[in-house]
Amino acid sequence: MNSKIAKTFANCKREKRAALITYTVAGDNTKSNSLKILNTISKSADILELGFPHNTPIADGGQIQESSHRALKNGIKLKDVFKIVKEFKNSNPDKPLILMGYFNLIYQSGENNFLKNCKDSGVDGLIIVDLPYPENKKFSIKCKKKSIDFIQLVSPTTSDERMKKILKDSHGMVYYISMLSTTGGKLKVAPKKILQNYNKIKNINRSKNIVIGFGITDKTIAALKKADGLVVGSQLCKTITNSLKKRLNTAKVLNKMVYKLKKKII
Amino acid sequence: MKIKKGKLLIDQHDKNFMYGGKFGGNFVPETLKKPIDDLTKLFTKLRKDKKFLKERDECFKSYVGSPTPFIKLENLTDYLKGAQIYAKVVSEANGGAHKIYNATVHCLIAKKAGKKFIVGDTGAGYAGKMLSMAAKKFGLKCKIFMGAKDIKRQRPNVEAMKKNGATIVPVTTGSQTLVDAVSECMRYWVSNCDTTHMCVGSTVGPNIFIKICAWSTAQISRELFIQVKEEFGKIPRKIKLLNCVGGGSSAIGFWNEFMDTDAEFVGIEAGGPKNSNLHAAPLTNGSKIGILHGAAQYVIQDKEGQIGSTESISAGLDYPGISPLHCFLKDTKRARYTSANDEEALKAYQLVSKLENISPSLEPSHAFHEAIRLAPRLKSSEVIIVNSCGDSIKDKDIIKQKLGSYKR
């Protein structure tokens, strides 16, 4: 277990803090700007999630939909996504990058071809929103063979029995969805309750790095900082939307936001 | 890939819920796994429960109005001088379309599941109208997701939904039609699956929704099978069952009981405007398999896998995907699929309404076009039955705009 993702979690643990994981959409609002954003926020972020946009995203709320829409309108294609990853990795070889998206794009590109492109560009992990367990079994084995972390998702509706099975087949990192919601929903569950569920998962296998996502903003992040990692996505997409409206330098504004988030969990 | 005889089509999937190893499945976010699993277990139990079946049949009889008429279109047959043309006038069902079967069954299930809220998607507005009607009857609070473009073009059904006390949520993302309404409805369910039952309006979506919908609309062919036997003394050898397909719920229901007979199935997709590249006919136009709304199916998309734009004069057929069951029927060659364009559907609507006592909506008018095209080439001993699954009243605005006037 010496993936860059695992190393990053180990480092964070040594520093006794949660890992900060950001999510932005590749190509939002342009290809070059999204690369600039990655380069800038990687100073504060520990792991970067990069969305490859789909125009029918059934699990995303308004903020990420808007970012995806902007990116697609600007003509982003998968090959551009991989190019962005490659260029980012050239200047930040040790920073873990996780691609996140919907299965149809992988299906069309061909699983093996997609994974080859991941490997070539330096992708460290994959989150596929609509490829749940056990449907993802074969694909996750393929990922492992390429030393790419396939990140399983678990949610408040996941039964105990199912949770155990998912964790058993998971790689190093597991993503816990904090509540019943699409991305970008208001946190409607008490952080204490979320951490209770988190601990339940953690107790199944303490060696897994469990991150919490959905509904996490600068307002809610501090209350959850006991987790191994915390994902902020919609708030960053919203920040991009707002800074574009105000014609501000998106990378700069986003950098400030990510810095602020980081300060809240150290 | 083969269809098994003597086994319901909806049950011919493998352990991954795939038909023919290629179509369907449950490509859903983790959060929906449990609600889908719970619903699957409940439905599996209910469909074997004699009390539940009795309740359903009672509803179909006294509330939906079963059986709907099966009539010979004498004038159209005389006019075309070929095969005998019949119609199964499903638009006579309560509410005016086949969507009432699925809506009623979903409300019955929601009650059994102890849910107080029900949500659904709608394109032409029929699925929404029927769900709002049934929800009102069963005392469920109802929310309907509908594309903003469809809200404008299907006004009569929107008004009906409001009258039934449903909340209509206009969907303003993407193309603002059915595809976005289904996405938004699923998003809502992801956030509210603990208190709310979801009804998918057609034979699309995760496997359980395909099953429930097809199991419900099968009532159409249960009735028709008896009616055809009464009319002809047996099931004629040369018989064609024509049905429009968007998501494909009425066609599956129309064909189900005839699966193991010699009846020929023809599905008619929406070809879109005459001189346009846009259409809603993934089977006719050779679209590739992709994942849409939780299921693998032939779907209009670009090379990358972004879902493509569609266009059709009929909101009910304006959907980029198609039921995995139809993909299965196509690949096993049990059914064949073709398309009619907007203009052809309008013309068929005009001819049928002029000659006959029925006035099909623009969706079945696509199927009537194919009947009108085929009939003169066939012998008078051959039989064509068209599922007239909707009434033109909901299309009065569009028809008025296209033809200058609308009479009913």
- Side chain identity, residue A231: V
In a domain, B320, yes or no: yes
Per-residue pLDDT of A140-152, as tens digits, reads 999 999 999 999 9
Q: Are residues B38 and B155 in the same domain?
A: yes
Q: How many CB pairs under 8 A join A and B?
A: 112
In a domain, B6, yes or no: no
Contact indicator for A78, A109 with CB cutoff of 8 Å: yes
Contact indicator for B94, B103 with CB cutoff of 8 Å: no
Find the CATH number of the domain harbouring A242. 3.20.20.70
How many domains in chain B?
A: 2
Check residue B309 and report its DSSP letter.
P
- Name the residues of A annotated as catalytic: 49, 60
- Cβ contacts (< 8 Å) between B26 and chain A: which residues? 132, 135
Give the sign of the dihedral formed by CA B55, CA B56, CA B59, CA B62.
negative
Q: Are residues B83 and B231 in the same domain?
A: yes
**Which of B184, B214, B244 is at the close of a domain?**
B214
Enter the tokens of residue B75.
């004038």
Q: What percent of chain A has pLDDT over 70?
A: 100
Residue A159 distance to chain B (closest CA, Å): 8
Contact indicator for A229, A9 with CB cutoff of 8 Å: yes
Enter the tokens of residue B46.
């209910």
What is the rounded radius of gyration, in angstroms, for the C-alpha atoms of chain A?
A: 17
**Which of B185, B214, B243 is at the close of a domain?**
B214
Per-residue pLDDT of B278-326, as tens digits, reads 999 999 999 999 999 999 999 999 999 999 999 999 989 999 999 999 9
CB contact under 8 A, B29 and A59: yes
Residue B203 has pLDDT above 90, yes or no: yes
Find the CATH number of the domain harbouring B257. 3.40.50.1100
> What confidence score (pLDDT) does residue A1 get?
52
Structure ipTM over 0.90, yes or no: yes
Per-residue pLDDT of A95-130, as tens digits, reads 999 999 999 999 999 999 999 999 999 999 999 999
Q: What is the domain range of residue B397?
A: 66-96+220-403
Q: Are residues B333 and B351 in the same domain?
A: yes
Residue A59 distance to chain B (closest CA, Å): 6
Q: Give the integer Cα–Cα distance in Å for B111 and B138.
A: 8
* A55–chain B Cβ distance below 8 A for any pair: yes
Q: What is the domain range of residue A101?
A: 4-265
**Which of B165, B198, B214 is at the close of a domain?**
B214
Q: Are residues B199 and B87 in the same domain?
A: no
How far is CA B74 from each of CA B69, B86, B227, B352, B357, rounded to the nearest angstrom? 15, 8, 17, 11, 10
The closest alpha carbon to B393, from B95, B63, B70, B76, belongs to B95
Residue B147 has pLDDT above 70, yes or no: yes
Q: Are residues B352 and B249 in the same domain?
A: yes
In a domain, B37, yes or no: yes
For residue B28, the SS3 value is: coil
In a domain, B296, yes or no: yes
Q: How many C-beta neighbours within 10 Å does residue A93 have?
A: 9
In a domain, B71, yes or no: yes
Q: Give the integer Cα–Cα distance in Å for B378 and B391.
A: 27
> What confidence score (pLDDT) does residue A2 get?
77
Residue B38 distance to chain A (closest CA, Å): 11
Q: How big is the CA angle at B389 (ends B56 and B130), to the nearest 5 degrees?
A: 50
* A153–chain B Cβ distance below 8 A for any pair: yes
> What confidence score (pLDDT) does residue B193 get?
94
How many domains in chain A?
A: 1
Point out the residue among B33, B192, B288 whose CB comes nearest to the CB of A132.
B33
Whose tokens are 């988030």? That residue is: A261
* A147–chain B Cβ distance below 8 A for any pair: no
Going by their DSSP bridges, the two strands A47-51 and A19-25 should be labelled as parallel
H/E segment holding residue B88: strand B84-88
Q: Are residues B130 and B249 in the same domain?
A: no
Q: Are residues B154 and B291 in the same domain?
A: no
Distance in Å from the first CA to the final CA of chain A: 25
